[in-house]
Amino acid sequence: MVRSSSLGYPRIGADREWKKALETFWSGKLEEAEFTARLQEIRLSHLKKQQLKGIDWIPVNDFSFYDHMLDTAAMFGIVPKRFAYEGGRVPLSVYYAMARGTQGAAACEMTKWFNTNYHYIVPELSDAAPALTENRPLAAYKEAKEALGIEGKPVLVGLLTFLKLSKGYDAAGIDAWIERLLPLYVQVVQELEREGVQWVQIDEPILVTSVSDQDIIRLKTIYEKLAEGAPKLKIMLQTYFEAVDSYEEIVKLPVDGIGLDFVHGGNGNLAALTKHGFPAGKLLGAGVIDGRGIWRADLEQKLDLMGQLADKVGYDRIIVQSSCSLLHVPVTAERETQLAPELRNALAFADEKLDEIVLLAGAAASGASAAAAFAGQKEALRKLQQSPARSREDVQQAVSLMAAQSAARASSFKERHSIQLQKWQLPLLPTTTIGSFPQSAEVRQARQNWRKGDWSAERYSDYIKEQIGIWIELQAEIGLDVLVHGEFERTDMVEYFGEKLAGFAFTRNGWVQSYGSRCVKPPIIYGDVAFTSPMTVEETVYAQSLTDKPVKGMLTGPITILNWSFVREDITREQVAYQIAYALRLEVEALEKAGIGMIQVDEPALREGLPLKEEEHESYLDWAVKAFKLATCTVADSTQIHTHMCYCEFHDMIDAIKELDADVISIETSRSHGEMIHSFEENTYDLGIGLGVYDIHSPRVPPVEEMSDMIDRALQVLNPALFWINPDCGLKTRGREETETSLRHMVEATRLARAKYSIAD
């Protein structure tokens, strides 16, 4: 018998009802009891859907009130002292304070979950006194069984992964933390065993990164203790996002099943399995359906892969599953009826992927080909491939010619910097923002009115100009040195550009969770990307007409557009990146021609796309950096190119950041509590740079003194003559009052710093 499994299901709901519940609760319009009841209703509906679709192993405890790493920290009482936690079950007030911050306590750091666009809350171990405050996997198991009769598969973040992704201890302290936390993990699995749980899924995605020999020894210790503590409970050790490196050692661990990704890094896992075999008595969780992409699977090809696995393992020991949690894809493609048929029929979101898993498991179990269903999938993919959107010779030839040319600016940074200083005459430590300003309910409603046809294009344009005028005046009054137009016309920093470029398509309900209640609707790059007309010139030029201060043009960079979109699979990601870069080059040139002399091309997702395997880093960074430079290299020396990055670990790619050759880069640092500065204590950086002085993902307004401390620390290692002062990121999600107050504090902190660090010409 071939069984089917899911590794996790999207939390947000088909209508983003999860997001709406969270935000209503945070606004104080929903009592806690009603809030938790509403989330339970959403959670059970997701389980019921998987049950009706015929999934054999349904995950429980994959649902979250915010984030699964935060859940794990809260389960073990790992709460920083600044949140005044007094022990016991972590209250929702403390849980959300850790995620979002309060006026008196900064939020915990947030960073990318491996190489995805999902952000997790980073646990802080330094002052924690861990204890099992509640057995969340057990509660989820009991709820599913009692409410729906589901024999669920509890999901738990593995101990090694949890520690490797946490902070607040040095590398030498990891063994001490294993000793502190392992008994609690044992307690969790023992309670699951006593309840009669049959299988538990323990996620260890850290195993697809470069793990040391010492880590393998630690893994053996961890899983031996878990097996000893709960000998009747079966453990599925789950990996995903890439191939495991230490395959021989990992498959020997005392667990009952090993989950491997046969989509991303599938060749590596298949090669290892072929070379070393698979242990008798263990089940293989075969991740053959892509949990991160949105295209239908070629089921004939997948069944062939299943056959290769069965030759080595046997069908009776294979679990058909997604390559990772379906958290990373939208809920259902059923409603996307407005898309062209050749595109719509080629899509598979979470619900459709569940169908593929069940269909594939059934075909493998019966030995039948399921010819009709398989043929339908294949035909849908064939029609998409034959779309004229994928065969634009004009784009392909232009991009090929561009990629063969030099991607360097005409002059060095030192030469450009001298010219730009003379042109702009900015003060020491110039202040600016990252680009967006608060998008109020009124701004969003105006956009809706225009999209629905209730407003004419002229009326909507006038409204946008009115908002630009308000914020240009306010920025000048606050005392910022370099202004932005505010991006009021933009829904999302990727979607906006995709809507104006050829080769993109857009869903109505294709939302995925980025962090907390923040959901994004990634564009679909299905054809050749092409520039059609200027995308940002009108609003930027209008903003510049209102002030004598410089206004930055604001663009999203090629790698961020690539990494934050669902991308076609028939050509390489490098080729797609160069197509986007060519389109953006034409926009950069249009801005410059219109008189805009500062242009920011944001690349917050550059680090996110870094492969998980170290040996692949150099190749990726080479073409990613080249794409950025191709988009920006044709401007005059006096035109200042800015870029922005946020919420990633950048310490291991400082050299690549320098290679971008941007005149000014702004990087998040406050959310990570200034730790990015440590990278510059160890590495020199001699281009323009701004390290964010306050966290914009929290409603908290930092005091002047706090920002001053951040500036002081940065200027111990960075040249004040090259330093800019700015928030961590764009201000789209913040309210006007907190935004205005925070910026005033930032300008005051800058005034104090200028007096302190004033230097001679």
- For residue 601, give the nearest of 587, 617, 613 by alpha carbon: 587
Would you say residue 660 lies in a domain?
Answer: no
Write the pLDDT tens digit of every residue in 338-372: 999 999 999 999 999 999 999 999 998 776 556 67
Tally of structural domains, the chain? 1
User: In angstroms, rounded to a whole number, what is the distance separating the alpha carbons of residues 113 and 117?
Assistant: 7
Residue type at 721 in one-letter notation: A
Contact indicator for 512, 522 with CB cutoff of 8 Å? yes
Those residues whose C-beta lies under 8 Å from the C-beta of residue 740, and which sit 6 or more positions away, are 474, 478
Using DSSP's 3-state secondary structure scheme, residue 212 falls into coil
User: In angstroms, rounded to a whole number, what is the distance separating the alpha carbons of residues 738 and 23?
Assistant: 17
Token pair of 31 as six digits: 């009592």
User: In angstroms, rounded to a whole number, what is the distance separating the alpha carbons of residues 560 and 603?
Assistant: 5
Contacts 24+ apart (CB under 8 A), 367-370: 369/300, 369/303, 370/299
What are 555's strand-pairing partners?
601
Those residues whose C-beta lies under 8 Å from the C-beta of residue 95, and which sit 6 or more positions away, are 65, 66, 70, 74
Token pair of 698 as six digits: 């929290």
The residue segments making up the domain with residue 60 are 3-327
Backbone angles phi, psi at 197, to 5 degrees: -60, 135
- For residue 269, give the nearest of 280, 278, 282, 281 by alpha carbon: 278
Token pair of 431 as six digits: 């202040």
Using DSSP's 3-state secondary structure scheme, residue 590 falls into helix
Please, what is the end-to-end C-alpha distance for the chain in angstroms? 78
Angle between the N-to-C axes of helices 32-53 and 136-148, in degrees from 0 to 180, rounded to the nearest 10: 70
User: In angstroms, rounded to a whole number, what is the distance separating the alpha carbons of residues 562 and 136?
Assistant: 36
One-letter-per-residue 3-state SS of 228-259: HHCCCCEEEEECCCCCCCCHHHHCCCCCCEEE
Would you say residue 610 lies in a domain?
Answer: no
Does the annotation flag 112 for ligand binding? yes
User: In angstroms, rounded to a whole number, what is the distance separating the alpha carbons of residues 541 and 535?
Assistant: 12
One-letter-per-residue 3-state SS of 146-183: HHHCCCCEEEEECHHHHHHCCECCCHHHHHHHHHHHHH
Would you say residue 31 lies in a domain?
Answer: yes
Would you say residue 412 lies in a domain?
Answer: no
User: In angstroms, rounded to a whole number, what is the distance separating the alpha carbons of residues 577 and 45?
Assistant: 39
Does the annotation flag 206 for ligand binding? no
> Could you tell me how far CA 259 lies from the centroid of its own chain?
23
- What pLDDT score does 333 carry? 96
User: In angstroms, rounded to a whole number, what is the distance separating the alpha carbons of residues 729 and 604?
Assistant: 9
Give the E-state strand segments of 191-327 in sequence order.
199-203, 234-238, 257-261, 283-289, 318-322
User: In angstroms, rounded to a whole number, what is the distance separating the alpha carbons of residues 689 and 662?
Assistant: 9
Q: How many CB atoms lie within 10 A of CB 759?
A: 9
User: In angstroms, rounded to a whole number, what is the distance separating the alpha carbons of residues 262 and 237?
Assistant: 15
CB neighbour class for 10 (10 Å; exposed up to 12, middle 13-18, buried from 19): buried
Contact indicator for 107, 700 with CB cutoff of 8 Å? yes
Does the annotation flag 18 for ligand binding? yes
Would you say residue 29 lies in a domain?
Answer: yes
Would you say residue 310 lies in a domain?
Answer: yes
Q: What is the largest CA-CA distance in the chain?
A: 81
Does the annotation flag 602 for ligand binding? yes
What is the number of residues in the chain? 761
Token pair of 394 as six digits: 């004009």
CB neighbour class for 249 (10 Å; exposed up to 12, middle 13-18, buried from 19): middle
- What pLDDT score does 103 carry? 87
Does the annotation flag 603 for ligand binding? no
Does the annotation flag 145 for ligand binding? no
Those residues whose C-beta lies under 8 Å from the C-beta of residue 86, and which sit 6 or more positions away, are none
Does the annotation flag 86 for ligand binding? no
**Residue 240 vs residues 34, 379, 438: alpha-carbon distances, Å:** 36, 29, 37
Q: How many CB atoms lie within 10 A of CB 671?
A: 26
Does the annotation flag 436 for ligand binding? yes
Would you say residue 576 lies in a domain?
Answer: no
Would you say residue 70 lies in a domain?
Answer: yes
One-letter-per-residue 3-state SS of 5-27: ECCCCCCCCCCCHHHHHHHHHHC
Backbone angle region of 237, left / alpha / beta, with phi > 0 → left and psi within -120 to 50 → alpha: beta
- What pLDDT score does 648 carry? 55
What would the DSSP string read from start to end of 608-621? TTS-SSGGGHHHHH
Write the pLDDT tens digit of every residue in 505-516: 999 999 999 999
Does the annotation flag 608 for ligand binding? yes
Does the annotation flag 16 for ligand binding? yes
β-pair type (234-238, 119-121)? unpaired
Contact indicator for 489, 507 with CB cutoff of 8 Å? no
Contact indicator for 545, 97 with CB cutoff of 8 Å? no
Does the annotation flag 435 for ligand binding? yes
Does the annotation flag 758 for ligand binding? no
Residue ranges of the chain whose pLDDT lies below 70: 367-371, 647-652, 670-679, 681-683, 759-761
Using DSSP's 3-state secondary structure scheme, residue 437 falls into coil
> Could you tell me how far CA 513 lies from the centroid of its own chain?
8
DSSP 287: E
What are 502's strand-pairing partners?
530
Residue in 328, 417, 485, 697 annotated catalytic: 697
One-letter-per-residue 3-state SS of 548-583: CCCECEEEECHHHHHHCCEECCCCCHHHHHHHHHHH
Is residue 485 part of the annotated active site? The answer reads: no
Specify the CATH number for the domain of residue 104. 3.20.20.210
Those residues whose C-beta lies under 8 Å from the C-beta of residue 168, and which sit 6 or more positions away, are 123, 124, 125, 126, 127, 128
- For residue 561, give the nearest of 609, 619, 597 by alpha carbon: 609
Contact indicator for 529, 485 with CB cutoff of 8 Å? no
> Could you tell me how far CA 481 lies from the centroid of its own chain?
31
